[in-house]
Copies of this chain bind each other. A is one copy, B any other.
Amino acid sequence: MESSLDNTMLALADPTRRAILARLEEGEARVTDLAAPFDISLNSVSKHIRILERADLVRRRREGREHFLSFNPAPLDDAAAWIEARRAFWTKRLDALERALVADDENNGRRKSK
């Protein structure tokens, strides 16, 4: 049972891969181009790319011997949605707490919910 959200989050849990995605915002790039800024081997970068592809965050277009990678932001939707759901809840909860405190102030009563 491997959720695609698992793959997306895992792909984002590494600074090299996040940098690769940020770099791909400038447009397509070859594996060699993506590897250039990093102090790791080309092979390691190739592996990072595979993890990004598994998460479908990166798409590959072959042209001869060169592989052009591009950024596909679609999987970020689910990731953002999950995080926002947690954050929205928390905001709501803080608001509720604030209202409760104000109400408490007004009638000076004790309340216990649920």
Report chain B residues within 8 Å CB of A10: 9-10, 13
A58 within 8 A of B: no
Extra 5 A-B pairs, beta carbons < 8 Å, given A5-B18, A21-B86, A73-B90 = A25-B93, A71-B90, A73-B87, A80-B83, A80-B84
Map CB proximity to B onto A72-94 as digits: 1 under 8 Å, 0 otherwise: 01001101101110110110010
A18/B87 in contact, CB under 8 A: no
Q: In which size bucket is the chain A interface?
A: 20 to 34
CB nearest to A80 among chain B residues: B83
Which A residues are closer than 8 A to B by beta carbons? 1, 3, 5-6, 8-10, 12-15, 18, 21-22, 25, 71, 73, 76-77, 79-80, 82-84, 86-87, 89-90, 93
Which 10 residue pairs across A and B have the least CB separation, nearest first? A9-B13, A10-B13, A73-B90, A9-B12, A80-B83, A25-B89, A76-B83, A9-B9, A6-B13, A76-B87
